[in-house]
Structure 1
């Protein structure tokens, strides 16, 4: 059966989602939403850089897209700076009877212990009302730190700690709001960026820690523990999103930690550089400029390093692709899922079925 899909946004992730929807034989792109008036009327294939038209014109008319009654919306709009407004959008979609896979807000990956229960209940009620499902996932949070580590634990005899790391150079990551306002790169070391206010790290990545804990049947101490350290630029740096003068914030290491009786048991950790030469004492990928590394301490000791890069070699481009494709490839499973909020723990295995070249 072919599922009719609307793509919601055509930015750094959305453009790759359009290409992915077009590539899957079981999906049909029937609509595209854009926020930029200059994109209205442009063909989806043009917006995705496919070099050909798909016969679907972009619109900023929400009601017109809802009236198409798609089976699913692939929602890749920016949510980091409008979390609760975005949640309202997602609730509206599922109340309207449309299933949704979304890249954010990431705290909906596993919101228990992060959002008020009243809001979680509201999402569940909206799903029941519209008989539709909502799944929020991507790559981080998402596959690299939910399904990958939990799959590895199936090999364990004893688990002492599960640690999920992102080690990356963000110099080619184009998201000015994220880079400057949220992370604080290029800002004075005397300023506190949004991400480092108490509780924000646990809100942004606590869903990872809590979902892994749920998958391992752990009851965590409250609250989650936040740790971080920042590094000032030793010279001027330039990234595609922000210029970083000498002395300004240039690199960030943080941890969000789930403890049991005061002992670290589940850890989400990021080492974020804005130039590959920074912080030589920090961990580095075995190859390339970025990786996800899963470390499981116990019996046996296990480590997996997951890397990716685009055909042009840029891991930030491929990061957008894998984020988009985890969503696109989950559409059928989410359409078949129970109504309401669906986490990775609820889904069957998701694969790239139908995407082998030349089939």
Structure 2
């Protein structure tokens, strides 16, 4: 007999109560070794985010069974998050070894582990957003994680100024995702008109000011975003003491290579950026869900068009509506998203 085919769907596609519970484990905690991950807040964050009851449809006979939410989340933790964080940890240390056979202090290792934990938390949340189609613009959300990935690569090769600059890009993309979802005309202009640039981040007409005025973020979050963006701008605009060949204290030239102080600054900036980034994306996700609920018509999660071709699929006694977007061919089944 051949292998049985299954479609997996969530019984309840709204995970926001669980998402809010997951965010309660932020800020994450430091740890000495990855063998301790099950005792960290990252573990609790991940399980809370992914612990969702599922129904499994056997397409051969239409029968439906239920999965164990805890077991699914636990399996995903080991198969997905553990592999992710160990892979990036290996990449980082391999790059260091190829350079100067450096041995990091235990304090630095713990801080790097925490930085990697935030990276893993953001990546796992991003995966959830993509699976649930709870994003406004897929290029913005994918580029945001790419900025973090590139920052880790550059930092492992001692390009601290360049690596920090990418955290600024990351913040801009995360905020733009939220801003554009409620300023759709600006998004269309930015996406289609060559002379239109990304809106200002802060200031009178800035994106974070707009979000705060419209009740999307609070004063504390706006101030934190503005402060971080300002700090990172020193790297973007090549402030003298941020150059990788200059000692920030003495202002004298130094040889290119590992610098414990610059590395510490980069890790601290990364942790702060990813922490606030998670919170802003969570607000966007919840807000976007409410916008989708208010839509009378089905909305394509990829291109936001409303024109679909719909057919009825039958699996035994089970019937599922399959909608195909006429604009981008994205397919949506009841409770199940299928990428074409």
Q: Name the TM tier (shorter chain).
A: under 0.3
TM-score by length of 1: 0.26
Structure number with higher helix proportion: 2
Structure number with higher strand proportion: 1
TM-score by length of 2: 0.26
